[in-house]
Structure 1
Amino acid sequence: MDIVESPPALADALGGTPTLRPLANSSFCDTWEARQGGLRLFVKSAPRAGAAQLRAEADGLRALGAAGCIRVPAVHALVDLDGGGAALALEWLDFASPDAGFGARFGAALAALHAQPCPLEPASFGWRGDNYLGATPQRNTPLQPAGRSGWLAFFGRSRLAAMRDRLPANASDLRDAVDAVAERLPELLAEGDPPRPALIHGDLWQGNWDMLADGSPVIFDPAVSCSDPQAEIAMMELFGSPPEGFRAAYEQGGGSWPTPRRMRLYQLYHLLNHVVLFGGGYAAQALRCAQSLA
């Protein structure tokens, strides 16, 4: 592949002139391997339409990194490009095939993250800015109080209702089913452990975690918020399962597993997002999930 020089803004931020080798493109950005002397970086660049996603990603990675509980790619630079675009330079990470102890290490690290105090002041559900779940804008307006009633309001408005309003016009049955679930939220959220605001990755499907060559778990491509940490577990269980040994270590570290109904409730949010993004069979899957709760 062709080697190109980096944009001046990125060169200035990194204090040098790295060369860029194009990698595979994602749905909204170009990706590059950057080299500058002995430094190797993973760079994403996007035009104006995708720049906000890169800025939100950098914010989420910095927040997760500041917690110090689980590895994330370090942010080396986030720069504005001509025409309103942006470039994000991240630590280059080398992955290895997960070993027999990976699940236990991952579970312990994620439990430690979820046990940290909410970084919002005062503690509340939401985040300091909206961000993205995949390519879908995710509403994060903080709400008070931090207890069950605050989560009921936040999940109802900023998760279910916000995603329901993005459903396609021909999804009237699904919208009605989501409305029925919303009416039952007080009952659905009354069971199980009281929700509490904790920093979560927010989009932790199997494609967004891995193991580093030294055996450390690493997570990336976040959609962070301060939410019920059981919502994190529900996403991990939606399109697969956490690795062997994860649950025992997570619960030993103080984490708790959602009840079956709460699991489906939190998964509904992500299924609705897949309807918004991809349509197809996800609409039927989301409808079945909603009907099982309503």
Structure 2
Amino acid sequence: MIDEILLKQLSAALSEQLKVKIHINDAKSVHGGDINESFRIATNEGYFFVKMNDAKRFPEMFAQEYAGLLELRSAGALQAPKPLAYGSVGGRAYLVQEFLTKGQAVTDFWDDFAVSLARQHRVTKPHFGNPGTNYLGTLKQYNTPYSNWAVFYAFNRLLPLIRMAYDQQIVDKQMVQQVESLCRQLPQLFPAEAPALLHGDLWSGNFMVGANGKACVFDPAVYYGHREMDLAMTRLFGGFDTRFYYAYQAAYPLLPDWQQRIGICQLYPLLVHLILFGGNYYNSIREVLQSY
């Protein structure tokens, strides 16, 4: 639950942001994923959504998510909740954001979702990366800028995680060597493409049908990366409707041989899940690596 001290802090933060005195009447625990505690708070100005976690274990987690949501919203493409405040009290970090209301999907929901994502992916910057280290799940996501995607993906994504998995005795030396071998091949496997604004964790659990019937995304792990990363993520853990992929391809065609790179792009989230949850992710990783 949310204690009185934290409620006062949330009230003050919202009052400052909204320029009106906010009184919190109730805080109800809601489902918000496996990583954070989540609450719907009822106030004199309506409902708001609050995420909470351990400030010492995950420093800057919510500061980075706040910035990521602003980055997505500034693209003017996909809908994302408006972040309102973040901070910490008594070792508990919090993020307050707009409370999303569910709606009924419009007829062309998947086509609109795909076209909006394609528009977001056209937002670019000179380098792959992001200011500061953020998180995917509870694992740090390094964003040291590089001008080359293959180098960025190797040194900020695959190599740190496979070494972490090896140190935790989750994988053997052979799998480490396979990942290292793949990293040496990445420059030949990925054609050059401009950095794209990515959601970073775009699976079926991180979007909903908004009040206007269109897709609204949340819980991002934003960075500028190869756009095939977002699309590969959509194919994990349930996948998206087939119409989504046809519409995206029509709006912003992928470069040749993108089908052969799906597994490579999925290696990163699969390694994250292997470290966090174990299970069958090991076999999925091994299947990808067998070709390299």
> What's the TM-score, normalizing by structure 1?
0.87
Alignment match, 1:59? 67
Q: CA deviation at 1:65?
A: 0.9
| Greater mean alpha carbon deviation, residues 252-261 or residues 127-136 | 252-261
Alignment match, 2:183? 182
Alignment check: 8 A CA contact 1:129 1:140 kept: yes
1:68 paired residue among 55, 73, 76: 76
Q: Does 1:34 align with 2:37?
A: no
Q: What stretches of structure 2 of length at least 5 have no aligned partner? A: 16-21
Amino acid at match of 1:21: A
- Specify the SS of the correspondent of 2:200: coil
Cα distance change of structure 1 residues 5 and 59 upon mapping to structure 2, 3 Å threshold: same
Q: CA deviation at 1:256?
A: 2.0
Deviations 1:213-261 (A, max 9, x none): 3112111100111001111111111233322421232223224266222
Deviations 1:27-82 (A, max 9, x none): 44321111221321011122322453222221211111111111101011112212
Alignment match, 2:10? 10
| Greater mean alpha carbon deviation, residues 52-61 or residues 62-71 | 52-61
| Greater mean alpha carbon deviation, residues 33-42 or residues 92-101 | 92-101
Alignment check: 8 A CA contact 2:130 2:224 kept: yes
Question: Where does structure 1 differ by over 4 angstroms across 4 or more consecutive aligned residues?
Answer: 1-6
Q: CA deviation at 1:266?
A: 0.5
User: 2 CA distance for matches of 1:90 and 1:61?
Assistant: 10
Cα-Cα RMSD: 2.2
User: 1 CA distance for matches of 2:162 and 2:244?
Assistant: 32
| Greater mean alpha carbon deviation, residues 177-186 or residues 47-56 | 47-56
| Greater mean alpha carbon deviation, residues 267-276 or residues 3-12 | 3-12
| Greater mean alpha carbon deviation, residues 228-237 or residues 20-29 | 20-29
Q: CA deviation at 1:288?
A: 1.1
Identical-residue share of aligned pairs (%)? 30
User: 2 CA distance for matches of 1:20 and 1:44?
Assistant: 15
Q: What stretches of structure 1 of length at least 5 have no aligned partner? A: none
Amino acid at match of 2:27: R
Alignment match, 2:131? 128
Alignment check: 8 A CA contact 2:7 2:24 kept: no
User: How many pairs align?
Assistant: 280
Alignment match, 2:264? 265
